Structure 1
Amino acid sequence: MNGYDILENLKMQVSKLEYMQYVSKIQYDAQNSQENLFIFLTDNIFLANWAKRKYRNLMIKFVEQTTNFKPEILFNLKSERQPPQIPQRKYIIKNNQYTINQDYTFEKFIVGECNEFAYKMTKEAAKRQKPNWNPLLIYGNTGLGKTHLLNAVCHSVYKRNPNAMIIYITAEIMFNEYRHRLQNKTMDQFRERFRKCDYLLIDDVQFLANTEKFQEEFFNTFNDINLAGGQIIMTSDKPPKLIEKLEKRLKSRFDGGMSAKIESPELETKIHIIKQKCELNNINLDSKIIDLLATQVHDNIREIEGIILKLHGQMSLLNMPITTEIVENELKDRGVEKKHIDFEDVITLVARELNLKPTEIRNKTRSKKTIAKARKIVAYIAREETNTTFPAIASELNLKDHSAVSKQIKTLKEEMQQNPQLKNEISNMISKLKHILQ
């Protein structure tokens, strides 16, 4: 069994178009692969992530059916094929789901208000010989950069101390190994591996709640690492108190450490992230397309990556550029399209975004520039995104008549033409309205 067999089997399981777009661009790295470790190479991180999500399980299943053994499947970039000569990297324990991404460093992490605290906490944890807080938990929705930060810790710690023992794993894979060791009566090897590391980095820690016995094992592992001065850093999609079936003593341990939430990225941060990912992979996107993706896809950067990868692959094959129309059609296919929005939805969100009260926006006062701006934005969005009539908008905003509403909207449109930042800000508000109603 080798990687060429795996790719040949995969070819038979996908359509001809999909094979040409994606599978044909994946190469087997025979030089660096091992008996039960198959390494494949791609041109860019987008294709690597796509292959990991779409094909990894199919490849593992094929090997399992043929050899009766579950292999490790990794996707690396071609630029990483000839790494510098360094000692065997046993300081990082690779698992069946992830490899350490060379682009996921602290230097390449885009920092905004949404993630600044989590960034600073993980960077500080990676610098210290002994932890100030244990464990450190980074939580937030999918696709916001939690895995990037764990990878960045690996890079940073190794740079500081190449001899450090780092284990980077998902809770699900950790549980699978625990179950395997338990069945084969080799728990001593499990404890030797996990309790004697300097850094234990666990992705998707919400899956710790598999069984009480596993939680007990993790509790003891945590205590041993903590007593020895090691650092535990975890990610989760929710805070500890909301993780179902998590034992009280583990919740207590988690609460005794430090938690940092990654929020949905603000518009400017999303735009910077998209631009960076395009630059890293030599993909050229018009600024209008970047703005469109940033404003229409609410917060999931991973979803935006998927859209870019798919369109880049399709358009490269057809030798055509990615246009605004193509992106809009793709968003429509994904269900990112106009939803029914009421006037109250508009005024509530605009008030929240500009730190005002809805009653202030409805008031006639013009003493504050922010209020005047808010009234124009409400009038514009209400007209563009709702069925509210001009007279109804005038009544809601205490304006004289429909002509006053028309003037407000016309003025704002002129300002948006002259100020792209204002245009993006309003587009982002509209995107958030749609997201709320999904």
Structure 2
Amino acid sequence: MLLIRPLLGISFRTVVEVLESFLLKKKDIDLTKLKDSPESKAKEYLLDKIGREKYDLWFSQLDMSFEKDKLQVLVPNSFMEGMLRRNYLALLEEAGSSVSGSEVGISFVVNKQAQKNSERRIKPANASKPLKYPKARPVVVEDLPAGTGRYNLDDFIVGRKNKMAHRAAKACVSSGSELYNPLFFFGSYGLGKTHLLKAIVNETMRNNPSLKCKYISAEDFTNQFVNSTLRKDMNSFRKRFRGVDVLAIDDVHFLASKKGTQEEFLNTFNSIDHADKKIILASDSHPTMIEQFTESLVSRFVSGMVIKMEMPEFETRKKIVEIKASRMGLSISQDVVEYVAQNVSASVRELEGAVKKLSAQHLLLEKKITLSSAQYLISDMVSRVSSAPDAEGIIDTTASFFSVSSSQLRSKAKAKTVSLARSVAMHLLRENTDLSFPEIGGCFGGKNHSTVIQACRKVKKLIDANATVDWKHRGVKRSEKIGSVIKQVSDSLNIQQ
């Protein structure tokens, strides 16, 4: 068995990416041979969610068993237990809940037989004698309440763009003010919404152990609702959710178009709110921009505090790189820090992933991270980001070109220069991002999607006609071909025309 020392803060997926040529050996799974047991159904759920390669690496040789409201997972050693806990705990909770129809906790047991199973999966390359894991005594790890984990507010790295979200989360933990109920975070993936939701739950439980707190995804809420409906056991479902002091629902946009679940959730929301309990929500879009939400649900969502989560600015991204590297025991020069922060700007999650790649290279191959090696290791991330400019960057750059402010573009101002700049920015967002018309409208202070469609059509007609547009630049009239305007703004954004 190949001996791998634990790597603090580095997922095993990253380790595999560095060593996959001699660590990972794929093995086909014959689904027809899976037994129709709760454990097998849980494994099928995992396979469906993460794919065969990751499933083979992590779960194919692990034994599981259901005991009351727990899913017990047998692992070969504390290293495997730690990796599963850090990277797959939430997924295991989802798998258990999807099978049982109710929320389950996860417990890990370090087991010698599991160690033997694991040893059959990974063979050392070019080794005359097989290496073995250090012997470990069987240890039962305490059950973790679903939704809790390593998240806390002190670990959330604060900058100018996420300061409001962090302060609201802290206030939610310490205050009973109606101002924060509900507290609704929205924004793209990997910006810290889940971190804040779980941190609020964790710190509330830590400060007030007697309180009942629950974190759950909207998808899991839906699955439990459907299962309870089929079993005609809605009383226990309602007791489970309406009896809590703090309810945190992640990815609430998943409820869109699910009218039955929306109605039940609205009743749950009202029950908790009327009892002066707290509700925290997260979504990828502003509640008014989520299509197929009932008006009553939207009105409840916007009745408290709605906060947008944005990608941190450059200085905060540098701080994130430095702190993440320090926690992993990785020493990197300032030019490497700045390169990573400048070129990986899609999400905080990808930024952390870039640092993990560098750390894996350093720890596994014992090589110092230079600027050139960093450029090579994260080149796939850089190319992906450079081809996908972010919405804020497009708006800011367009506003700067026309010598107006970004806030003017997001306002209702109808001055000729502002309207032209807004239309150009909407056109560029439509052409260079995956945002829908409603989502683009949300970037401009909640403009209606029909307004965005009209603006994009207007710019396209101007381009097709090779028309000249004019505007005032710091009080001086300017005139240029619309194509030239689009090109200049695009060049500033490094967008290939």
Q: 2:306 & 2:209 partners in 1: Cα distance?
A: 27
Q: Is the 8 A contact 1:119 1:149 kept in 2?
A: yes
Q: Is the 8 A contact 1:130 1:230 kept in 2?
A: no
Q: 1:290 & 1:44 partners in 2: Cα distance?
A: 30
1:147 is matched with 194
1:112 is matched with 159
Q: 2:81 & 2:162 partners in 1: Cα distance?
A: 22
Aligned pair partner of 2:73 in 35, 38, 47: 38
Q: 1:42 & 1:275 partners in 2: Cα distance?
A: 28
Aligned to 1:328, the other structure's residue is in SS state helix
**1:352 is aligned to 2:388:** no
- How has the CA–CA distance of structure 1 residues 128 and 352 changed in structure 2, closer, same or farther, with 3 Å as cutoff? same
Aligned pair partner of 2:229 in 182, 187, 192: 182
**1:209 is aligned to 2:269:** no
Residue pairs, 1:306-317, within 5 angstroms: 306-317=353-364
1:227 is matched with 274
1:3 is matched with none
Aligned to 1:202, the other structure's residue is in SS state strand
Q: 2:91 & 2:332 partners in 1: Cα distance?
A: 28
Alpha-carbon displacement from aligned partner over 1:181-220 (angstroms, at most 9, x marks no partner): 1112221111010001000001111112251000000000
RMSD of Structure 2 on Structure 1 (CA): 4.9
**Range 107-116 or range 192-201, more displaced:** 107-116
Residue pairs, 1:168-179, within 5 angstroms: 168-179=215-226
Q: Is the 8 A contact 1:38 1:73 kept in 2?
A: no
Q: Is the 8 A contact 2:490 2:496 kept in 1?
A: no
- Superposed displacement of residue 111, structure 1: 1.6
- Superposed displacement of residue 295, structure 1: 0.4
- Superposed displacement of residue 258, structure 1: 1.2
Q: 1:286 & 1:170 partners in 2: Cα distance?
A: 39
Which amino acid in the other structure matches residue 150 of structure 1? L
Alpha-carbon displacement from aligned partner over 1:99-120 (angstroms, at most 9, x marks no partner): 5332x32222222221111111
With the length of structure 2 as denominator, give the TM-score of the two structures. Answer: 0.55
Q: 1:45 & 1:288 partners in 2: Cα distance?
A: 36
Aligned pair partner of 2:306 in 229, 239, 259: 259
Q: Is the 8 A contact 1:200 1:232 kept in 2?
A: yes
Which amino acid in the other structure matches residue 151 of structure 1? K
Q: Is the 8 A contact 1:205 1:234 kept in 2?
A: yes
Q: 2:232 & 2:280 partners in 1: Cα distance?
A: 28
- Superposed displacement of residue 134, structure 1: 2.2
- How has the CA–CA distance of structure 1 residues 165 and 431 changed in structure 2, closer, same or farther, with 3 Å as cutoff? farther
- Superposed displacement of residue 315, structure 1: 4.4
Q: Is the 8 A contact 2:191 2:347 kept in 1?
A: yes
- Superposed displacement of residue 307, structure 1: 2.3
- Superposed displacement of residue 308, structure 1: 2.4
Which amino acid in the other structure matches residue 222 of structure 1? F
- Superposed displacement of residue 348, structure 1: 7.6
- Superposed displacement of residue 145, structure 1: 1.2
- Superposed displacement of residue 433, structure 1: 2.3
Q: 2:56 & 2:300 partners in 1: Cα distance?
A: 48
Q: Is the 8 A contact 1:130 1:231 kept in 2?
A: no
Residue pairs, 1:27-66, within 5 angstroms: 36-38=71-73, 51-52=87-88
2:38 is matched with none
2:429 is matched with none
Aligned pair partner of 1:191 in 238, 241, 245: 238
Q: 2:338 & 2:400 partners in 1: Cα distance?
A: 22
- Superposed displacement of residue 131, structure 1: 3.6
**Range 39-48 or range 315-324, more displaced:** 39-48
**Range 204-213 or range 230-239, more displaced:** 204-213
Aligned pair partner of 2:347 in 283, 287, 300: 300
Q: 2:164 & 2:385 partners in 1: Cα distance?
A: 33
Which amino acid in the other structure matches residue 88 of structure 2? K
- How has the CA–CA distance of structure 1 residues 215 and 174 changed in structure 2, closer, same or farther, with 3 Å as cutoff? same
Q: Is the 8 A contact 1:56 1:73 kept in 2?
A: no
- How has the CA–CA distance of structure 1 residues 17 and 347 changed in structure 2, closer, same or farther, with 3 Å as cutoff? same
Q: 2:185 & 2:141 partners in 1: Cα distance?
A: 32
1:286 is matched with 333
- Superposed displacement of residue 318, structure 1: 2.5
- How has the CA–CA distance of structure 1 residues 56 and 207 changed in structure 2, closer, same or farther, with 3 Å as cutoff? closer
Which amino acid in the other structure matches residue 349 of structure 1? T
Which amino acid in the other structure matches residue 311 of structure 2? S
Q: 1:25 & 1:42 partners in 2: Cα distance?
A: 16
Q: Is the 8 A contact 2:217 2:251 kept in 1?
A: yes
**Range 296-305 or range 327-336, more displaced:** 327-336
Q: 1:430 & 1:289 partners in 2: Cα distance?
A: 27
Which amino acid in the other structure matches residue 38 of structure 1? V
Q: 2:312 & 2:81 partners in 1: Cα distance?
A: 21
Q: Is the 8 A contact 1:296 1:336 kept in 2?
A: no
- Superposed displacement of residue 259, structure 1: 0.3
Q: Work out which structure has the larger RCO, using CA pairs closer than 8 Å and 6 or more positions apart in sequence.
A: 1
Q: When the two structures are aligned, how many residues end up with a matched partner? A: 332
Alpha-carbon displacement from aligned partner over 1:395-429 (angstroms, at most 9, x marks no partner): xxxxxxxxxxxxxxxxxxxxxxxxxxxxxxxxxx9
- Superposed displacement of residue 326, structure 1: 2.7
Which amino acid in the other structure matches residue 493 of structure 2? L
Question: What percent of counterpart residues are identical?
Answer: 28
With the length of structure 1 as denominator, give the TM-score of the two structures. Answer: 0.62
1:378 is matched with none
- Superposed displacement of residue 293, structure 1: 1.1
- Superposed displacement of residue 324, structure 1: 2.1
Q: 1:236 & 1:83 partners in 2: Cα distance?
A: 36
Q: Is the 8 A contact 1:296 1:431 kept in 2?
A: no
Residue pairs, 1:258-407, within 5 angstroms: 258-334=305-381, 335-336=383-384, 349=397, 352=400
Which amino acid in the other structure matches residue 330 of structure 2? I
